[in-house]
Every structure is written in structure tokens, then in C-alpha cells.
Amino acid sequence: MVFFASMQLSFREVSRPTLLVDVDKARQNIFHMARKAQRNGIRFRPHFKTPQSAMASLWYRDAGVEHITVSSLDMAAYFLEAGWTDILVAFPVNLRTANQINALASRCKLGLILESVETARHLEAQLLHPCDLWLEVDCGHGRTGLPIENEQSILQVSRELSMFRNLNFKGLITHAGHSYQARGLSEIQALHTTVKTRLIALKQRLKASGLDGLQLSYGDTPTCSGCEDFDGIDEIRPGNFVFYDWMQVEIGSCKPADVAAVVACPVVTTYPEQGKAVIHGGAVHLSKDMLKDTEGRPFFGMVGLPAEGGWTAPLPGCKVVSLSQEHGVVQLSKEVMQVLRPGDLLMVYPVHSCLTADLMGSWLGTDGLKYTMMPRP
Amino acid sequence: MVFFASMQLSFREVSRPTLLVDVDKARQNIFHMARKAQRNGIRFRPHFKTPQSAMASLWYRDAGVEHITVSSLDMAAYFLEAGWTDILVAFPVNLRTANQINALASRCKLGLILESVETARHLEAQLLHPCDLWLEVDCGHGRTGLPIENEQSILQVSRELSMFRNLNFKGLITHAGHSYQARGLSEIQALHTTVKTRLIALKQRLKASGLDGLQLSYGDTPTCSGCEDFDGIDEIRPGNFVFYDWMQVEIGSCKPADVAAVVACPVVTTYPEQGKAVIHGGAVHLSKDMLKDTEGRPFFGMVGLPAEGGWTAPLPGCKVVSLSQEHGVVQLSKEVMQVLRPGDLLMVYPVHSCLTADLMGSWLGTDGLKYTMMPRP
């Protein structure tokens, strides 16, 4: 079996912390999400900030994806070069980047987001090419956007945005980032129902005020994974779902078996009496994003072992409990401790795969390919 | 003035999160540390994991540095290429890397660390070229190394290590990472006195047992910055001190004015009623390392403003209070809020400059040069 052969080869070759991706699982995650969008008759505009890889973007093409989301203009340029031509930059317009916006907009259908007429005016004054424009609404996350309860402001800003020449006002966009606080499917679904209902009601009131044809762009990994009904929404933009991670398992977005990415880390020292080992795998590989265990102690990843054809599920009682720049300290069960030797590999399920992938810069796929990611600007 | 001119130019050019380094301050920090080592008559072996830049390594050459520390074999290869020939890899030997160790050891004086005879045996069996070897001792940090109180083990392992053919046993190495828990000079100095006294006593007992000529390698940024007397120690290996950061200010290693690195971040939205702004500058730029304010709330950086010739000190009441992948939410004082507009820059003093630099991959110096860093492996 090609799959097994390439994995075994990769393991032997792994001498430094290495991101490994189960390509079958990642493609499956994409396929499921694409089908869910299709069932709902809505546009699937996945966020590419997680894989950040031109080669991996082919997986999405295979699933019929034509529209994408990115988190920076640099990332838009990278994926434009890889052949993507309908790109939404889901980060508020930065007025220092007019040249870059113009260069991109001359070559693709570029979507931008903002929340003030003043910023739109400054932007329009410098635009040489038309862009799509989305008004950001805050539906409870509290980071950016006009609060969804400020209907008058939203109506007024929407009216003004619909008057610009080079800015095609498309509708309302939101990131329900507070879904990351949810724990369990019922909390995710309750949040989804609230947000979706409010967005649709808002759209209807804008329509009643004469602003017809506006669209709704919504949908993060927890809500898109945990919910089925997106009727009334026009597009969804989940990103993390391609790999998932331990945070998503804790939220309830996925099962442990859906997590497609692990970091293979060489064991450098073992401390059997303390039930711990030190791995090459630190903050510059995994990121300092963390979760807390039931006793409130932080941890930075779950731990599995290499296995035929890939790696095991996370093992009970095994966690990355602290990180320095290059060192990871791993707490291990007695069973694992007994068999573990320096030079072995541990497979770390990251807490937050987006930040881990961004740090690693490339990964090895179980298909035997090395996937390079967008270079640092 | 050239300095002013190049800074002003850089500010206009900054359209994305950009690491800026005050080259005069960084060189001053290096010069001070080099002089301290000289006064003590000891070897200065700075850790290059913070700047990770061949161009910046010239600053150290100018200060008379000949010996360096790195945190990975990849980093050793990068600095070997830049002309450094005496390199200590301050990370436990990873037995999967024998080929890389041999390649490096054939071209430079390579120092390695480990803590078990078993690992030394595995290593020796694969070594084609001699390496320097240090036994790691844990003097209270609790991460890696033989506990300093286990004198019998240390003596026994030292005896065995001194017998290897291709491993030149140099002495004991320790990283007193618990100095990062200190707050204020007197705590740093108390810790330093304890560790130094124990190390020297240990060395004397090893000598009394017939192990003569062993060296002591010690010295992190807090102890090397906050203490003067290193008599009896053979080499110090601080790294972070070149830039310092807000964590070091809180520890008491430096003054705010010694911090040489900030991240210039474009403001994308302002929320005057909430006293906050959102910047382009997130977890993929600053890292998720954090400190807690006096009320226990986490923060991810202090905030200054651009100013003639550089940037201001951190402003009271201004902090980065949350981070997403690309967004930073900044809490601002009324005074700053009144003058701040989208498109302005905020200068973020990072919590942990090593992780921030590692993420950014390059920086602009106030000397007008772009400093590239080691590429990702």
C-alpha cells in the first residue's frame, strides 16, 4: 500500500519537529463541508489561513470550491498566483495598503470588509479598480464590526456604502468568534440559531428600508461543523475545519478522529520517575495557545504515538504541559513511559492548528508530498 | 541626520506589521554584556536564538564575540554559513540527528549537551568527528538536566563522560530558567547567588574526586543583566538581552528604555466610546506569550506611538488586550484615543521578543537596513 509505505518512510526521515497531515482526513473534512454548503444551496468560501498552501488548495478545487477567504493581502497575492480569482480578505481594510489593493483588484475579484463610511471614503479616493465591499457586523464576538443591535447605524452606513462607485456593496459579514467559548453541540447550536435569526431579521429590515439584494456572509468552524441549517445565509467561511485540532474537539466541532494534523516530535530525554519526557517541539513549533485541563492546569497539546499507517489517537494521561522556545515537556502515562526511549517520536495533536501550521511553514502529507506554505512576507 | 531620515522613510513604508529594531540600543545592550563578561574574565557565548540573523551577528563580532550559542542544529548550520566556527547547541542531543551533527562537527567546533551516559554511548557510536560535550545540570528550573542535589549521579556520569573518544567532556551546563519567575533585582540577585554558589561547590567536589579542569557554563538574561559577580563561572550564555522585552522589564532585568524592538502595527478601526482600537498585528506576529496586569488580566504587549527619530516609551493605560490570528485589540487611554485615526501606526512593545522575532522572520533597523533572519527549515 502506497499510503503505508510513504508514512513509514516519512517517520524514518523525521529528525526535527515536523507537521504531518493525514491527507485523506483533510480532504474528507473539506468534502463534508462542501456537501453541507451544497445541501443548503449556499456559497462555500473556505478560509485559507489554516493550510496557507497552494498545493493544498487543489484539495478544495477538487471539492468544487471557487471562492476563497484569506486573512491578509499578502495571502491574497499568494493564492492569486496559485490561480484563485475570487478572494475575500476577511480583515478590516488597512488604509496604508491602497497600492496593494489596487494591484490585486486589477487581477481578481477582490472582496474587502470595513465598518465605517469614513474608511470607505478614504479607500474609494485611492481605488483604481472596483472591489466588492462587505459591512462588518458584530454579532456578539466583541472584536470588530458594528454591533448588530445598532440597527439604525447599520442601516445608515449601508445606505451610504451602496452609493460608492468603485465599491460594490455586497452585504453584511460577521465572524461569530464567541462560538469558540461554546462547549458541546447544544451550546454551538443555540448560538448558531440566535446569530442566524438575528442576521436574517436584520437583512429583512434593511430590505424593508429599500436596501434589497444584500447578502449575508457568516460561519466559523464550530457553527459550520456543528449545525446543519444555513437557510437564509448566502455564504459560509470556515477555515480551521480542514485540519481541526484539540480546541475544536473540546468545543465539540469534531471528534478526535477528525483531527488531520499532528506534529511529530523527537524525544530527547526521558524522566521515568517523574513520568515525563522532553521533546524537540516548543513554542516556535506549536505556538503558546493552550487549553486548561479539568483542574485548571494549562496544556499545549495531546500526545499520540506513531503507528502503522499513521499515528494513534491521543493517549489517556499524556499531554504537553509546558513549552520553552524549542523544548516541550510532556507528561506521560506509566504505560507509555515504560516503552519510550530517547530517539523515539511522539505525535502532538496541536491545541490550535492554524497557529501551529503558520509557525511550521510546511508539512508532510500522508500522500508522500511535501506541502510548502506561503512564505513569510 | 541619517538616523532620522531612514526612520521617517521606514514609517511611511510600513503597511503591514513590521518589526523595528533600534540598532543603537541593541548594540549598546551587546556592548554592556560583553564588557561585563570581560570584567569578570569569562567567556561570553551569547545565545543567537533571539536575533537569528547573520547580519545582526556582525554587531556581536564588533563587540569581540567569538563563541556563540544556538538552540537547534539548523540554527548552527545557518550561523556556520555566516562564518561562526565555535557553536554550542544548547538543546539536548537528539539521537535522530547524527548525520547533521557529523556534518557540522566536520566544519566547526561544535558543542553538545546531554545528561545520560546511554545517550552519550548512542551518540559516540555514530560520531565521525570530535565534539565538545557538556553535562546538563538542573539548578532549580525543573525542565532538563540532572538535579544539582544528586551529586553522586553527577559525579558518576561525569566520570563516564570523560572516557569517550570523540566527545571532549568540557564540564557542567545549566539554564536557570526559574529566574524568569523573579520580580525585581533583589530576587534575581538572591537566585544568582544561590545557583552560582552551588555550581562552584559542585565543581570543587568533582575536582576533589579527581575530575579536574571542568568548566561551568551558566547565565540567562535576568541573572546576566541584574548581577555583576560571575567569579568562578567560565562562560555566560544570555540571548534575549539584545532586544529585551516587556517580560524582562517586569522581571527587572532592564529598564523600558533598554527595549530595542517594537512591532509597528497599522490601526484599522477605532472605537472611541470603548477606548479601544484594532490593529493589524495578531498571534502570528506577536505570539501568544502574555503577562498579567495587576488585576490578573492577560496582556500581549505595551503600546507606544511613532515619534521623531523612533518611537515613544510605552504609554500609560495602553496595552494589547487580546489577539486573534491577524487582529490585535488595543486598550487605549483617552489622550491617545482622541488623536488616533485608522491608518496610523501603533508601536507594540512585545511581551517576549524571541518569539516575536521568530514569527516575523525579518526586521527593519533604525540604520536603514533590512535584517533577514534564518529561514524556516
Whole-number mean pLDDT of chain A?
A: 95
Instruction: Give contacts of A15 with chain B, Cβ < 8 Å.
Output: 94, 96-97, 99-100
Question: Quick check: B4 pLDDT over 80?
Answer: no
Instruction: Give contacts of A362 with chain B, Cβ < 8 Å.
Output: 376
Residue range A91-149, pLDDT digits in tens: 999 999 999 999 999 999 999 999 999 999 999 999 999 999 999 999 999 999 999 99
Residue range A308-322, pLDDT digits in tens: 889 999 999 999 999
Residue range B160-189, pLDDT digits in tens: 999 999 999 999 999 999 999 999 999 999
Mutate to test the interface with A, among B143, B291, B374 (most CBs of A within 10 A): B143
Neighbours of B291 (CB within 10 A): 18
Residue range B305-352, pLDDT digits in tens: 999 889 999 999 999 999 999 999 999 999 999 999 999 999 999 999
Cβ of residue A325 closer than 8 Å to a chain B Cβ? yes
For residue A178, give how far its alpha carbon lies from the nearest alpha carbon of chain B (Å). 12
Question: Quick check: A280 pLDDT over 60?
Answer: yes
How would residue B242 be classed by pLDDT, with cut points 50, 70 and 90?
very high
Question: Quick check: A5 pLDDT over 50?
Answer: no
For residue A21, give how far its alpha carbon lies from the nearest alpha carbon of chain B (Å). 17
Residue range B80-89, pLDDT digits in tens: 999 999 999 9
How would residue A10 be classed by pLDDT, with cut points 50, 70 and 90?
low
Instruction: Give contacts of A97 with chain B, Cβ < 8 Å.
Output: 15-16, 266
Q: What is the pLDDT of residue A277?
A: 98
Nearest Cα to Cα of residue A209 among A150, A156, A147: A156
Beta carbons of B34 and B65 less than 8 angstroms apart? yes
Residue A296 cell numbers, joined = 485548571
Question: Does the beta-carbon distance from A283 to B287 stay under 8 Å?
Answer: yes
Question: Quick check: A2 pLDDT over 50?
Answer: no
How would residue B141 be classed by pLDDT, with cut points 50, 70 and 90?
very high
Residue with cell 533604525: B366
Give residues 303 to 322 of B whose Cβ lies within 8 Å of A. Answer: 322
Mean pLDDT of B200-227: 97
Question: Quick check: A67 pLDDT over 90?
Answer: yes
Residue B165 cell numbers, joined = 573518544
Q: What is the pLDDT of residue A11?
A: 76
Q: Shortest CB distance from B16 goes to which of A74, A118, A119?
A: A74
Residue range B30-65, pLDDT digits in tens: 999 999 999 999 999 999 999 999 999 999 999 999
Q: What is the pLDDT of residue A26?
A: 98
Q: What percent of chain A has pLDDT over 90?
A: 94
Report the alpha-carbon distance of residue B51 to residue B106 in Å, rounded.
26
Q: What angle do CA A107, A108, A110 make, to 5 degrees?
A: 125
Question: Quick check: B2 pLDDT over 80?
Answer: no
Cβ of residue B275 closer than 8 Å to a chain A Cβ? no
Rounded to 5 degrees, what are φ and ψ at A161?
-65, -30
Question: Quick check: B1 pLDDT over 60?
Answer: no
Question: What are chain A's domains?
Answer: 13-17+260-372 (2.40.37.20), 23-243 (3.20.20.10)
Mutate to test the interface with A, among B126, B325, B354 (most CBs of A within 10 A): B325
For residue A199, give how far its alpha carbon lies from the nearest alpha carbon of chain B (Å). 22
Question: Quick check: A9 pLDDT over 90?
Answer: no
Is ipTM over 0.85? yes
User: Which residue of chain A comes nearest to B239, CA vs CA?
Assistant: A325
Question: Does the beta-carbon distance from B342 to A377 stay under 8 Å?
Answer: no
Q: Shortest CB distance from B327 goes to which of A143, A287, A325?
A: A143
Question: Does the beta-carbon distance from A343 to B280 stay under 8 Å?
Answer: no
Cβ of residue B265 closer than 8 Å to a chain A Cβ? no
Question: Quick check: A278 pLDDT over 60?
Answer: yes
Question: Quick check: B7 pLDDT over 70?
Answer: no
Beta carbons of A145 and A91 less than 8 angstroms apart? no
